[in-house]
Amino acid sequence: MTPQVTKNMGESLRAAGALSTVGLSFVLALGMGFWLGTVLDRWLGTKPLFTIACFFLGLAAGILNVYRIVSQAYPTTSSTGPAGPVRTTGPTESSPTESGPTESSPTGPGPARSTSPDLTERDLYDDSGR
């Protein structure tokens, strides 16, 4: 009897394959940085300078590789959506602008208004006694 491949099993195998490259990519980034630093030091005659600098650049590249691989293998689920949190550019309704307070401000002209999406103008000013 052969095991049946399910969607969860396929995703698990894909994640395991991606994670198996973590150690190799980290060691390769360190080795390439050290090698490049050694070559530059021999060429320019600055014995430990570029070896140390490129080693730390390789270390940073290795850490970045590990972070990318792990974040692809285990994506985070967010309630803000795939594009991340929504950012506004410029003043919002509840913040005063340079010209003065807005209508929704308690100090501005007219009554204070709620910015809650559940309430409407009719709900705020309805005198029917509901």
Better-predicted residue by pLDDT, 87 or 46: 46
On whether residue 30 sits in a domain, the answer given is yes
Give the chain's domain count.
1
Q: Looking at this protein, which amino acid is placed at residue 30? A: L
- Asked if residues 102 and 96 have their Cβ atoms less than 8 Å apart, the reply is yes
Q: Which structural domain, as residue segments, surrounds residue 34?
A: 11-73
Q: Is residue 48 part of a domain?
A: yes
DSSP state of 56: H
Confidence of residue 36 (pLDDT cuts 50, 70, 90): very high
Encoded tokens for 108? 């501005």
Query: How sure is the predictor about 75, in pLDDT bands with cuts at 50, 70 and 90?
Result: confident
Q: Which residue's entry shows tokens 């080795």?
A: 31
Whether residue 49 contacts residue 41, with contact meaning beta carbons closer than 8 Å, is answered with yes
Instruction: Please answer whether residues 76 and 85 qualify as being in contact, where contact means their C-beta atoms are separated by less than 8 angstroms.
Output: no
Residue 115 lies in a domain: no
pTM of the model: 0.53
On the question of pLDDT at 51 being above 70, the answer is yes
